[in-house]
Chain A
Amino acid sequence: MPPRMTLQTQLVLQALMRDPSRELYGRELAEETGLMPGTTHPILVRLEDAGWVRSRKEDIDPHIEGRPARRYYWLTSEGAVEASAALAAAHRPTRRALRALADEGGAA
């Protein structure tokens, strides 16, 4: 079942589609979308369940790097096609809706 095209989902897809070859991790997605990671994570899980997005956990030793391993997300080729069709069909968010979203979910 295709994921629901909420405003937040559209923002996440747009961020991933800007450069489909690029893998993004939580913080980058938050910056690109203006949403907080707690909001983007369930969206990414839904997109992964739908097969549009895939993810991998970075293979590092957190003790050596001094930070936790990041999880990177990228669009699958099928996901890129489906997402662009879904975004084209989705309602364009109004400026007011975007402003309200920025107010309540501002970047972390």
Chain B
Amino acid sequence: MITIKRTTPSSSAPEAETAVCVLTASGLLGLGAAAVSAAAGATPEQALASGYAVGPVVLGATIALGRRGYKWAASDRFNAWADHRPIRQVSAVFAGSPFLSVGVLVLFVPVMGLGLLDAGYGRAVRRYRSGAIHIAAACMPAHARERWLDTVAESLHETPPEKHDALVRNFIANAPIEIHLAWSGRRRAGSER
């Protein structure tokens, strides 16, 4: 017996439509989560992080289901049953899910990462912040670098540990000004010589 394996046709229109729907839904879920967190008394940063975190989690679940659906939709059994039925449109939507998953990952992973960094969660975040301080320092001329790192160390020592995250964030936020001042001060010193 010869079996002819048919695959589900994938048209770009339903894919795009689904992408928009899923992204919108996850965005709304994220906003909802942020609103709930804010209402529960979370700081704006924590609310933002909740929003960033919940959206992709729901999206991940949708994509996982979508991929299973795609496998199912590509099976002979399904094709035999779905021919000439409106449900075939749904199978085309599932066919787009691998593309969706890549797109969504590309879009949301950095956003989620930024959200978590912004809220200051986890050891990795602290490591990142410490790395950011050293990257900023590396952008300064030697004399300014040493002085700025001394100031950071002095401030960290003088500040209680529970305020270190806010302190380091404040130094990172002001690092571009420090870099600008360091180089403009050096240029001025050079031209005055």
Residues of A within 8 A of B (CB): 25-27, 30, 36-39, 41-42, 45-46, 49, 57, 67-71, 105, 108
* Contact A45–B170 (Cβ < 8 Å): no
The 6 closest A-B pairs by CB, nearest first: A38-B170, A38-B171, A27-B158, A37-B155, A36-B170, A42-B177
A-B Cβ contacts below 8 A, count: 64
Q: How far does the alpha carbon of A86 sit from the alpha carbon of B171 in the complex, in Å?
A: 27
> For the side of the interface on B, what is the size category?
20 to 34
Contact of B159 among A27, A42, A67, A69 (CB under 8 A): A27
Interface residue B151 (Cβ < 8 Å from any Cβ of A): yes
Residues of B within 8 A of A (CB): 147-148, 150-151, 153-155, 157-159, 163, 166-167, 170-174, 177-178, 181-182, 185, 188
The B interface is mostly helix, strand or loop, or mixed, namely helix
* Residues of chain A lying within 8 A (CB to CB) of residue B185: 45, 49
The A interface is mostly helix, strand or loop, or mixed, namely helix
Q: How far does the alpha carbon of A39 sit from the alpha carbon of B175 in the complex, in Å?
A: 10
How many Å from the CB of B157 to the closest CB on chain A?
Answer: 5
Question: Could you list 6 examples of A-B contacts with CB < 8 Å?
Answer: A26-B151, A38-B167, A38-B171, A39-B174, A46-B181, A108-B155
